[in-house]
Amino acid sequence: MSVTSASPPVLIIEDEPQIRRLLQLTLESNGFRVHQAASGAEGLARSASDRPEAVVLDLGLPDTDGIEVLKEIRSRSTVPVLILSVRNSEQDVISCLNAGADDYLMKPFRQGELVARVKAAIRHRQQPETKGAIVAGPVTVDLDARVVKRRGEIVRLTGTEYALLALFVRNAGRVLTHRYILEQVWGPAYAEESQYTRVYVGQLRKKLEEDPANPRLIVTESGIGYRFAG
């Protein structure tokens, strides 16, 4: 696929030349325009000057930890940031998501999955502020009218169920940690009460999913939280 000045720009912040080259070839072959940085300092400078529509960020940079770069980017921009790292502990993933990452992909990565996630991050950011009717598969959520329908039939939700669903819809495509969900829906005092999310997500799935045992809308990110795949 040809790359032009109109192609969506993506910034890669990665210190390993071979991986940068692989990422460049993968993204350019899928219609993205790629900018590169080999250090945190260069990445921060290029994130400001190149105005990318997405950032692919490695955590193991030579001059600083990638999570510090993430925090600095997030302090001044809402650009989607996808973490790409060999670190695979649950705490690493949660720390990055809590610091503002939009997604987390572990090395070695599948090229198709990387492209799909970058596209999803850009698509969700380009969507207008989530007002009005949002359609996700058979489900329609009207945030203005506070009405939820499944295949045209109104779904009755409790106030808490609706608040949880609205949070998912407004953050479609992003991984939300249990802590973030609990703080947003129930308040900071409930940050450790992860059973709340499990119970209420289960209730939403029963009311919205075609097959609650194999959910397609509210997807579990094991040990981390949930992603609304709308």
CATH code at position 112: 3.40.50.2300
Tell me: the pLDDT tens digits for 79-123? 989 999 998 787 888 788 778 788 888 888 889 989 988 987 787
Distance (Å, rounded) from C-alpha 177 to C-alpha 222?
A: 10
Same domain, 24 and 122: yes
Same domain, 90 and 110: yes
Give the end of a domain, one of 85, 108, 126.
126
| Residues 6+ away with beta carbon under 8 Å from 194 | 178, 182
Same domain, 110 and 155: no
Structural domain boundaries, residue 46: 9-126
Same domain, 13 and 122: yes
Same domain, 27 and 122: yes
At residue 87, the pLDDT reads 85
Intra-chain end-to-end CA distance of the chain, in Å: 27
Q: Provide the CA 109 distance to its chain's centre, in angstroms.
A: 17
Same domain, 113 and 144: no
Tell me: the pLDDT tens digits for 42-54? 999 999 999 999 9
Spatial contact of 98 and 122, defined as CB atoms under 8 Å apart: no
| Residues 6+ away with beta carbon under 8 Å from 91 | none
Give the end of a domain, one of 126, 148, 183.
126
Helix (H, G, I), strand (E, B) or coil at 123: helix
At residue 12, the pLDDT reads 98
In a domain, 3, yes or no: no
Give the pLDDT band (50/70/90) at residue 125: low
Tell me: the pLDDT tens digits for 156-209? 988 888 999 999 998 888 889 999 999 889 888 888 888 889 888 999 999 999
